Amino acid sequence: MQRIILLGAELREARESSGLSTSDSTKRLGWYAGKLSKVEQGDKSVTDRELAKAIDVFGIAPERADALKELAAEARRRLPPARVPEWATKYVNLVAAATELKLFFPDSFPGTVQTFDYARAILRSAVIVAPADVDRMAEERSKRAERLMNSETTRLWLVIGEEALHREIGGKAVLRGQLEQMRSLAETPDTTVQIIPFDGGAHACHGTAFTIITLLEGKPSIVYTEGLTGSDYLGREHVRVYNLAYDNLRAVALSPQKTLEAIERRIGELT
C-alpha cells in the first residue's frame, strides 16, 4: 500500500511539473474520467503499458522512469487481507507502512492502540460488525497495536480528550488495562501522548477524530477520517489545515509528563 500511494504521488508531481491539468492528461492518456485521480490518490494501480504512456505524456526522465516502473511492479503485489470493513483496509495498510502517525481522538482510544478487551467492547457496540467477527477483529486490532508499540520505524503522536480516561468502555478493569497499555506506550522513545483536559477550553477539533499519515519524509501526507459506514482520504490543502489544527491541539493539551501523571492517577482510581 505504501508503494501505490508513493507511485500516485510521484505521477501527480510529474503531471503538475509538466503543466498539464487532470482533464488534459486524461485525454492524452486515453483513460476514462476519474481514473487519473484514483491513480494519483493511491486507490488504483497501473499496468506497465499505462505507466509507459504516462511517462511519455508527462515527459518523465529515463532514470526516474525506471524507478517508477519498479515502484509500479511492487505496488501490484497483493497484501494479505485485514479483517476490517472494506473501506478501512487501505487505512490499516497505510498505518503499517507509515513513518509517522498523528492521531486525535476526542472521547476514546483509537483502534491503532487498543487492547484486545477494549477493542472487543467497542466492536460489540458497533452496528456494522457481526457478533461472530468481534473476537477476531479485536485480536487483529490488539496485534496491530502491539506491532506499533514495538516499531522502530514509526513516530507516533497521540492526542486524546480527557473523556477517554473516564469513559468506562468494557468496565473499570478493561479501561484500567487500556490505560496501563497507554502508560507503557507513553514511555517509549518514539511516542508522544498528550491529553486535552476538560478545563482546557475550546480547541480546533471538537467532535472531529482524524489521523495524519506520513509514509516517507518529504512526501505528501494523507489525512484519514472515518464515519460509521465509510471513510475519506484527504490530501493537499486538507493536510495543511489538519496539521495546523494538530499543532493547536498539542498547544492546548497537557505536556507529555503531565499526561503520564494523569494516566497514573486514573489507573490508581480504577484499582
Task: Tell me the mean pLDDT in the region 99-103.
Answer: 95
CATH 3.30.870 fits 86-270, yes or no: yes
More confident residue, 12 or 30: 30
What does DSSP assign to residue 127?
A: T
Question: Is 192 within 8 Å of 226 (Cβ atoms)?
Answer: no
DSSP bridge pairs for 158: 103, 193
Average confidence score pLDDT of the chain: 89
Q: Lowest-pLDDT range, 18-22, 41-45, 148-152, 267-271?
A: 41-45
pLDDT of residue 78: 58
Two domains, one topology: 2-75 and 86-270: no
C-alpha cell at position 62: 529515463
Residue 255: DSSP 8-state: P
Pick the CATH number of 2-75 from 1.10.260.40, 3.30.1280.10, 2.60.110.10, 3.20.20.60: 1.10.260.40
Q: Which residues pair with 195 in a beta bridge?
A: 160
Cβ–Cβ < 8 Å for 124, 137: no
Q: How confident is the model at residue 148 (pLDDT cuts 50, 70, 90)?
A: confident
Radius of gyration from C-alpha coordinates of the chain: 21
Phi first, then psi: give them for residue 44, nearest 5 degrees.
Answer: -150, 135
Q: Are 239 and 214 in contact (CB under 8 A)?
A: no
Q: Is residue 24 within 8 Å of residue 33, measured between CB atoms?
A: no
Instruction: Report the candidate in 245, 197, 250 with the shortest Cα–Cα distance to residue 225.
Output: 245
Q: Rounded mean pLDDT of 233-246?
A: 89
How far is Cα 72 from Cα 76, in angstroms, rounded to an integer?
Answer: 6
Convert the pLDDT of each residue in 171-225 to its tens digit. 999 999 999 999 999 999 899 999 999 998 899 999 899 999 998 777 778 899 9
In 3-state terms, what secondary structure has residue 191?
A: strand
H, E, C per residue of 198-263: HHHCCCCCCCCCEEEEECCCCCCCEEEEECCCCEEEECCHHHHHHHHHHHHHHHHCCCHHHHHHHH
Q: What is the DSSP string of 57-115?
A: HHT--HHHHHHHHHHHHHHTSPPPPPSS-GGGHHHHHHHHH-SEEEEEESSS--GGG--
Mean pLDDT over 43-61 rounds to 91
Q: What is the mean pLDDT of residues 121-127?
A: 95
Residues 133-138 have a mean pLDDT of: 94
Give mean pLDDT, residues 143-157: 90
Residue 102: what pLDDT? 97
pTM for the predicted model, two decimal places: 0.77
- DSSP letter, residue 199: G
| Stated length of the chain | 271
- Asked whether 176 and 120 are in contact (CB, 8 A), the reply is no
Question: 10 Å Cβ neighbour count for 103?
Answer: 23
Write the pLDDT tens digit of every residue in 59-98.
999 888 888 888 788 777 655 555 556 556 778 878 887 8
So what's the pLDDT on residue 181?
96
> Are 211 and 158 spatial neighbours (Cβ–Cβ below 8 Å)?
no
Query: What are the structural domain ranges in the chain?
Result: 2-75, 86-270
The pLDDT assigned to 161 comes to 97
Kindly report the backbone phi and psi dihedral angles of residue 155, in degrees, each rounded to the nearest multiple of 5, phi listed first: -90, 125
What is the pLDDT at residue 17? 87
User: Cα–Cα distance between 176 and 153 in angstroms, integer?
Assistant: 28
